[in-house]
Structure 1
Amino acid sequence: MRKRSIRVQVWLNKEEKAKLEASAKKAGLSQETYLRALINGYVPKELPPPDYYAVMKELHA
């Protein structure tokens, strides 16, 4: 069962929508999850580059 029962609609212009999409993607989150994090006072960080974990593994080997 869905935990959230209240729906909120927000109107954005093209630039705001593009920024929301890009920011959520960089953080590896859906737009909904990204906005919930912001509402709760948390600014999601960007994910590390794809090769980050491979490099870290090499450094610690």
Structure 2
Amino acid sequence: MFSSIGIPGLIIILVIILIIFGPSKLPKLGRSIGESMKNFKESTKGVMDDDDEVKKEEKL
């Protein structure tokens, strides 16, 4: 996905984000995105674990 954008495209995107949110909001934005990704991974792991348990019970 990112291989088609290239380095110049990524730099332009980062500059636009910097202009929109400003330098003071970027750390907060990055932290909230990181926490969201962590919560998403934890919830999908829980769903996958539940799915594995259901499959094990069906085999019995």
Higher relative CO (CA 8 A, sep ≥ 6), structure 1 or 2? 1
TM-score > 0.5, shorter chain as reference? no
TM-score tier after normalising by the smaller chain length: 0.3 to 0.5
Structure 1 or 2, whichever has the larger Rg, is 2
TM-score (norm 1): 0.35
